[in-house]
Amino acid sequence: MDFEFGSIGIFQVETSFEIMVLKNTIIFLLIIILTGCRKGNQEIEDGKVGGTSVVAQNKNRIQTQRAGTRSAPTIWVKGIPVKIEISDTPEKRMKGLMGRERLEWDSGMLFVFEYEQHLSFWMRNTRIPLSIAFIDQSGIIVDMVDMAPDDTSSYVSKHSAIYTLEMNRGWFEKNKVRIGDKVSFR
């Protein structure tokens, strides 16, 4: 079997040994690059601060509030207490507030995701007019949108978020809550 050597891309190769070395070098570099990028992205996605994810810290704060009490957990939006229901699994997030007839004025649903991303919501089978705040891992509101009942169009966040808070439509406006305000899990 005859082999013909020549140039491969930008490299000039003379022997099958050089091809093997070049191939292994490229594979090695790709592994290093991909491993380094994945680790960096994972830390960003997990929002790790001091080895513990911000999401885990916030979930722990909410769980601690729930322990030994029958009342709903509370978060604070711009210092205003809000009783919340938590949707932190794919099943709970899919159902959301579908089928509900009403929502108490100072209550809402907090959706918790695994990492920051552009989030998309719709109002299929949701009868309550809602406003939604998209919140980043630091607790800063990065976007807000009013949503119409039974609307099947998508409401997509303009910025990456890890939480959303659905409230009765007009709650944010009435309480002068704006993009850039802080949500605290205390």
Would the pLDDT of 149 be above 90?
yes
Are the C-beta atoms of 103 and 131 separated by less than 8 Å? Answer: no
CA distances from 147 to 61, 70, 95, 124, 152 (A): 29, 30, 16, 11, 10
Domain ranges of the chain: 7-46, 53-184
Rounded to the nearest integer, the mean pLDDT of the chain is 80
Mean pLDDT highest for which of 4-13, 39-48, 174-183?
A: 174-183
Tell whether the model's pLDDT for residue 27 goes beyond 90: no
Supply the pLDDT for residue 47. Answer: 47
32: confidence class by pLDDT, cuts 50, 70, 90: low
Question: Could you tell me if 36 and 45 are in contact, meaning their C-beta atoms sit under 8 angstroms apart?
Answer: no
Q: Classify burial at 72, counting beta carbons within 10 Å of its beta carbon; exposed 0-12, middle 13-18, buried 19 or more.
A: middle
pLDDT at 95: 95
186 pLDDT band, cuts 50/70/90, is confident
Q: Which residue did the predictor score with more confidence, 126 or 28? A: 126
Say which residue, 155 or 11, is predicted with more confidence: 155
Which fold, 53-184?
Answer: Jelly Rolls (2.60.120)
> What pLDDT sits at residue 71?
73
Contact predicate 136/161, CB 8 Å: yes
CB atoms closer than 10 angstroms to residue 74: 17
